[in-house]
Structure 1
Amino acid sequence: MKKTLLALAAIAAMTGSASAADLGARPYVKAPMPAPVANWTGFYIFGGGGGGLSNADQHINDTATGIPLTIDQRQGGSGWFGTVGAGYDWQFSGTWVAGVFGDAQFGSIRATIQDPIFDITGTQKLETSWAAGVRLGWLAAPNVLTYVNGGYSGAHFGRTNFMDLAGVDAGVHLNSYDRHGWFIGGGVENSLNFFGINSPGWFMKTEYRSAFYNAKTQSELDNVTNLPFVGGHDIRANSWNQTISTSLVYRFNWTGPVVAKY
């Protein structure tokens, strides 16, 4: 009986060894790679354009006495502009981005200036402006940044020539001037790869901004002498400008998503 059991065990052992020899080597399975992580830290430049609206609360004073002659009236206008700028961002805590930037705008955003007492009307043009500020954003996706921004702004308003009701030059103008104020806004910036375009480093930014400039009091001046118009008025007005722009952005450090190595 013992001899029989030993024979069966030997046969089973040889059968198992033969079966193992017939099996191929176990295939190598590579560990799964983590999802790519975008790196938003670095310098960038941008350029683009858009459109804007201008609003101003105005009232008329007597030039000699400074006594208000009218109550506030709101005038408005619209136009277009181009913009260029640069900045630097820091990515932190995974999905948060903070940065500093500066930009300049140039174009023609026009607003109406009116003296209802003399029945004369002019057009004031926002010719150039600049801004310096900070922004804080959150990554809605590795290549999509949503953000808010704010900061300091300055603007140059061109000369205003007045016309009478018949459209004839009234011989009165306001000189050009500079004003300063602050702005607040927000937008979305995304890699062009978001649209299926293979363009490392290139992004598109769409932004809304509101800029508020300090009030300015100006005397109506004679077109010939550039002196206060005889029996003239002063016009006091503030300025509130809203803009929407779309820009192309190039990020110098962006050579594609960073992938962890093993």
Structure 2
Amino acid sequence: MKKILLALTAVAAMTGSASAADLGARPYVKAPMAAPVANWTGFYIFGGAGGGLSNADQHVRDTLTGTPLTIDQRQGGSGWFGTVGLGYDWQFSGTWVAGVFADGQFGSIRATIQDPIFGITGSQKLEDSWAAGVRLGWLVAPNVLSYVNGGYSGAHFGQTNFQTLAGAPAGAHLNSYNRNGWFIGGGVENNLNIFGIQSPGWFMKTEYRSAFYNAKTQDELIDGTNLPTGNSIRANSWNQTISTSLVYRFNWTGPVVAKY
């Protein structure tokens, strides 16, 4: 029995040695590469255009006493604008981007102003505005940023010239004025390396913004004399815009591979 066990052990040992000798060296396997991560930190400038809607809750007051003469009515309008701006972003925790920015808008977004007591109506134009704020975004892809933003805003509204319901000049107007408020919004920004075309540093962003401006009471004035008609109009302003802009990032290096 012992002789049989010894014989089997010897055969197993020789078989293992032969099998080990037949095996080649292990092939070299390269470690998997890390997912590409783009560098979004740095300064940028942008310019573009878009369209907007304007809404205002307004009522007529007695100029002398301030007593409301009508209830609030919502009036609206629409128009277009151009925009230019600049900003700075910081990328952190891999896929998060935070930044500060400032921009200006110029164009013609109009809203209706009415005095039903005198039977007159006019068009109030948002001529230009500015905004300064912050944004926070998440990289849905190395070259695509989805973000929300918010901050402080100011606007300049042009003079309103009233007409009668028949379309004739009414001989009264509201002076131009400035108003401050705040805004919230959001959008998507993406690199323009598409369809095999390389555009280092160039991006496109599409953004929605909603701006709210404080209410203001304005006296209706008689043309040529600036004397009050006896009525005033109190209105706030809510403007919604959608714009598309071309963006240039000064330090854009494209996707880079993280080192192990």
The TM-score by the shorter chain falls in which range? 0.7 to 0.9
Q: Report the equivalent of 2:257.
A: 259
Q: In the alignment, residue 256 of structure 1 is paired with which amino acid?
A: G
Q: Could you list the per-position Cα deviations for residues 131-156 of structure 1 after superposition, in whole angstroms to 9, with x for gaps in the alignment?
A: 00000001101111000000000000
Q: In the alignment, residue 62 of structure 2 is paired with which amino acid?
A: D
Q: Report the equivalent of 2:83.
A: 83
Displacement, 1:30?
A: 6.0
Q: In the alignment, residue 47 of structure 1 is paired with which amino acid?
A: G
Please give the alpha-carbon distance, in whole angstroms, between the structure 1 residues aligned to 2:258 and 2:184: 37
Does structure 2 retain, via aligned residues, the 8 Å contact 1:143–1:194? no
Q: Report the equivalent of 1:233.
A: 231
Q: Report the equivalent of 1:167.
A: 167
Q: Could you list the per-position Cα deviations for residues 96-120 of structure 1 after superposition, in whole angstroms to 9, with x for gaps in the alignment?
A: 1000000000000000000001110
Does structure 2 retain, via aligned residues, the 8 Å contact 1:188–1:206? yes
Please give the alpha-carbon distance, in whole angstroms, between the structure 2 residues aligned to 1:138 and 1:205: 14
TM-score, normalised to structure 1's length?
A: 0.86
3-state secondary structure, aligned to 1:193: coil
Displacement, 1:194?
A: 4.6
Q: Could you list the per-position Cα deviations for residues 175-230 of structure 1 after superposition, in whole angstroms to 9, with x for gaps in the alignment?
A: 0000000000000001111554310100110000000000000000011112212x
After superposition, the Cα gap between the structure-2 partners of 1:94 and 1:194, relative to the gap in structure 1 and judged at 3 Å, is farther
Displacement, 1:166?
A: 1.2
Please give the alpha-carbon distance, in whole angstroms, between the structure 1 residues aligned to 2:54 and 2:236: 10
Displacement, 1:33?
A: 3.9
Please give the alpha-carbon distance, in whole angstroms, between the structure 2 residues aligned to 1:184 and 1:35: 33
Q: In the alignment, residue 132 of structure 2 is paired with which amino acid?
A: A
Does structure 2 retain, via aligned residues, the 8 Å contact 1:126–1:158? yes
3-state secondary structure, aligned to 1:234: strand
Does structure 1 retain, via aligned residues, the 8 Å contact 2:37–2:94? no
- Unmatched 5+ residue regions in structure 1? 1-19
Please give the alpha-carbon distance, in whole angstroms, between the structure 2 residues aligned to 1:205 and 1:198: 17
Does structure 2 retain, via aligned residues, the 8 Å contact 1:44–1:249? yes
3-state secondary structure, aligned to 1:71: coil
Q: Report the equivalent of 1:208.
A: 208
Aligned residue pair count: 240
Q: Is 1:177 aligned to residue 158 of structure 2?
A: no
Q: Report the equivalent of 1:244.
A: 242
- Unmatched 5+ residue regions in structure 2? 1-21
After superposition, the Cα gap between the structure-2 partners of 1:56 and 1:32, relative to the gap in structure 1 and judged at 3 Å, is same
Residues 65-214 of structure 1: pairs in structure 2 closer than 5 A: 65-194=65-194, 196-214=196-214
Displacement, 1:261?
A: 5.5
Does structure 2 retain, via aligned residues, the 8 Å contact 1:59–1:70? yes
After superposition, the Cα gap between the structure-2 partners of 1:58 and 1:138, relative to the gap in structure 1 and judged at 3 Å, is same
3-state secondary structure, aligned to 2:210: strand
Q: In the alignment, residue 249 of structure 1 is paired with which amino acid?
A: V
Q: Is 1:58 aligned to residue 75 of structure 2?
A: no
TM-score, normalised to structure 2's length?
A: 0.87
Please give the alpha-carbon distance, in whole angstroms, between the structure 2 residues aligned to 1:60 and 1:256: 57
Please give the alpha-carbon distance, in whole angstroms, between the structure 1 residues aligned to 2:145 and 2:162: 46
Does structure 2 retain, via aligned residues, the 8 Å contact 1:217–1:237? yes
Task: State the identity %.
Answer: 86
Q: In the alignment, residue 75 of structure 1 is paired with which amino acid?
A: Q
Does structure 1 retain, via aligned residues, the 8 Å contact 2:189–2:205? yes
Displacement, 1:37?
A: 1.4
After superposition, the Cα gap between the structure-2 partners of 1:198 and 1:72, relative to the gap in structure 1 and judged at 3 Å, is same
